[in-house]
Structure formats: C-alpha cells, structure tokens
C-alpha cells in the first residue's frame, strides 16, 4: 500500500474528509482534513478543531510507519474557510455555495470567475454522471442589479434537484466547465459581522477554525 493510500484510508477511517495532501522537497508532509456535515464528532460544530487535528496526527504517525513513509515532519490542519475543491465529491458537497475558479485557458479573455456552484448545462451526460462537469451561476451583465447571492444559490439548488435534463435558467447566467478545464477552485468565504466563516453558523463553544497549517505531529522517528 502506498503512503497516499495509507493517508486516505486513515483519515476516512476516523470519520474525516481528506481535502488535500502535499509533500515538499524538505520532507514536510502536509495533510488537510475537514468534517462531514452529517457526522457526529467529540465537539459539536462544522469546523475542524485542534483536537481533530491531533487525533488524526497521532493515527497517521502510527499508520505511516507501517509503510516506512519517507517524511521528516507531519502537519495536519483544516483547509481553511477558502478550502480548495479538487474531486467530484468535493463539488457535489458544495452545490449551492459560492466558489471561485481559475481556468487553464481564458474564456472570453478572462480566467477567473466567481459565482454559485450548480449543475452543468448542455454537458456530456457521461461527464455529468462522473461528476466531472459543473456550472457556475454568474451575475447577469445585462441586469440593472447583479444577481443576489440568495437568488443565485436558490437557482443553483433548483438546478441540482431538477437534474441536467430539466429546463433551467438563462444560459447566459451559467458558465459550464469540466474539472480538467480548471486550474483551481475554492470556496468563497462568507463574511459576517463576527468575521469570516465558511458557513453562516458561528463556531460552537470550544471550536476553533484552524485556518493556518499547524505543526501537530512533529518528526518521524
């Protein structure tokens, strides 16, 4: 079993989502985890806590020794409020949320777009089924006022519920794309009076938003 498979299996086995995993030339192994919205955890809430990171770190240190993984330091952290979206499962989870994407090749002279993630329009059914094709509800350039976030989110959820074959909103308000056409995709952090948050709810007591990578595991022995 490869070290990456060990990381995937360990993180998922503890009830967390593996968002991303990076290895640097200096021996740093950085793992980003997230909570699932329907999963029960020791501390309530949606955001990853320091305790979550410590639990995963301890188990990963043990698991990686079984495959003699080559690393010098291990860091486990939350992906932050602007977490990246990389896999079909990531995109499926955040339908209806505002995201920002960067295209590999400019479309109409622009590479960066932001809007509400929705089902793809006029996409290859096979790509839709595989979770490789998605859409982005954009602000209408012809409207007197931009499409509100609430209206865009409602439209995105209606499209996702109706499916790709249903009659949907105006085509000029939706940018369709495939995962191989984008260089990067991230959640757009929600802004509240209490500061940035990924979701409207504020953290529960004892919950910490771990935005920056924290070294919790130390060195491989």
Tokens 């955040």 belong to residue? 94
Q: How far is CA 55 from CA 44, 167, 205, in A?
A: 16, 47, 19
Residue 18 has pLDDT above 90, yes or no: yes
Give yes or no for a contact between 94 and 187, defined as CB atoms under 8 angstroms apart: yes
pLDDT score recorded for residue 194: 54
Instruction: Give dist(CA 61, CA 69) in Å, integer.
Output: 10
Give the total residue count for the chain. Answer: 221
The string of DSSP letters for 126-183 reads HHHHTT-EEEEEPPPTTSSSPPPHHHHHHHHHHHHHH-TTS--S-GGGEEEEEGGGEE
Instruction: Give dist(CA 62, CA 111) in Å, integer.
Output: 43
Query: What pLDDT, in 10s, does the model give residues 151-203?
Result: 666 667 666 666 655 444 444 478 999 999 999 999 998 765 455 555 433 33
Residue 57 has pLDDT above 70, yes or no: yes
Give yes or no for a contact between 177 and 135, defined as CB atoms under 8 angstroms apart: yes
Kindly provide the residue ranges of all beta strands, DSSP E only, lying in 81-173, ordered along the sequence. 98-107, 110-119, 133-137
Q: What is the mean pLDDT of residues 44-49?
A: 89
Output the pTM of the full model: 0.71
Q: How far apart are the first and last CA of the chain?
A: 20
Query: What pLDDT, in 10s, does the model give residues 86-143?
Result: 999 999 999 999 999 999 999 989 999 999 999 988 889 999 999 999 999 986 554 4
Question: Residue 179: CA atoms inside 13 Å, Cβ hemisphere, count?
Answer: 16
Find the range with the poorest average confidence among 43-47, 164-168, 212-216: 212-216
Question: Residue 137: CA atoms inside 13 Å, Cβ hemisphere, count?
Answer: 26
Give yes or no for a contact between 83 and 209, defined as CB atoms under 8 angstroms apart: no
């Amino acid at each position: 079993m490869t070290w990456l498979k060990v990381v995937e299996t360990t993180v998922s086995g503890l009830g967390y989502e593996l968002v991303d995993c990076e290895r640097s030339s200096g021996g740093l192994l950085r793992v980003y985890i997230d909570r699932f919205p329907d999963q029960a955890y020791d501390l309530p809430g949606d955001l990853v806590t320091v305790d979550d990171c410590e639990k995963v770190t301890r188990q990963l240190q043990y698991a990686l020794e079984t495959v003699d993984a080559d690393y010098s330091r291990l860091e486990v952290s939350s992906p932050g409020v602007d977490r990246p979206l990389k896999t079909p499962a990531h995109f499926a989870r955040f339908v209806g949320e505002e995201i920002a994407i960067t295209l590999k090749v400019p479309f109409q002279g622009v590479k960066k777009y932001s809007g509400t993630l929705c089902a793809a329009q006029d996409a290859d059914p096979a790509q839709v089924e595989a979770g490789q094709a998605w859409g982005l509800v954009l602000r209408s350039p012809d409207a007197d006022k931009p499409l509100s976030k609430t209206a865009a989110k409602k439209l995105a959820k209606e499209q996702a519920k109706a499916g790709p074959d249903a009659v949907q909103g105006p085509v000029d308000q939706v940018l369709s794309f495939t995962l191989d056409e984008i260089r990067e995709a991230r959640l757009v952090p929600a802004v509240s009076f209490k500061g940035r948050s990924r979701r409207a709810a504020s953290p529960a007591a004892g919950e910490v938003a771990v935005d920056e990578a924290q070294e919790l595991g130390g060195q491989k022995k």
